Amino acid sequence: MSSLHFWHAKLIVNLRDLGLLALRLWAGQEFLLAGYTKLSGGIHAPEWFSGLSFPFPLSLLGADLNWVVAGTGEIVFGFALLIGFYSRLAALGLLFITFVAIYTVHFDLGWAGWNQIDTEAGLGFKVPLMLALMLFTILTQGSGRYSVKESSP
């Protein structure tokens, strides 16, 4: 009976690690793409972004610097998350960026989801909130076995 318990426990751990890998890969590529999209347009924030009201202390940075910092953070932390390098730290950084984005951009636009993502109605906070929940899981559970640097439990 103990060998059955051993294999059951091993299967559960492997499934947990595969789940964390899937979350890291999905969230990491989403943030990499978001950061690349921001920075590929240049270092100047678009007009819609310049009109946003950022929370303190980010309000001191100005729109262009907030744009570059957010894009760079999404690329650096997104890549770290993707490969599993300091995943908890990367998830924490991305959670900060995500909550600032929800606060400044998405929340006032309401609850909109995947089926409207390519429309003006799709700019709500449902998708960023789902990404935040994925990041929270990685923050609390670590990167799992399938990573460059497995986070400590």
57-83 per-position pLDDT tens digit = 998 999 999 999 999 999 999 999 999
- At 153, the pLDDT band (50, 70, 90 cuts) reads very low
Q: Write the single-letter amino acid at 128.
A: P
How many C-beta atoms lie closer than 10 Å to residue 136's C-beta? Answer: 14
Model confidence at 121: pLDDT above 60: no
Beta bridge partners of 85: 149
**Nearest Cα to Cα of residue 77 among 60, 58, 97:** 97
Which has the higher per-residue pLDDT, 151 or 86? 86
Least reliable range by pLDDT among 16-25, 28-37, 55-64, 97-106: 97-106
Alpha-carbon span 127 to 33, nearest angstrom: 15
Span 49-55, mean pLDDT?
89
First to last CA, the chain: 28
Tens digit of pLDDT for each residue in 97-120? 999 988 888 766 666 654 444 555
pLDDT for the residue 152: 47
Return mean pLDDT, the chain.
Answer: 85
Mean pLDDT of 18-26: 94
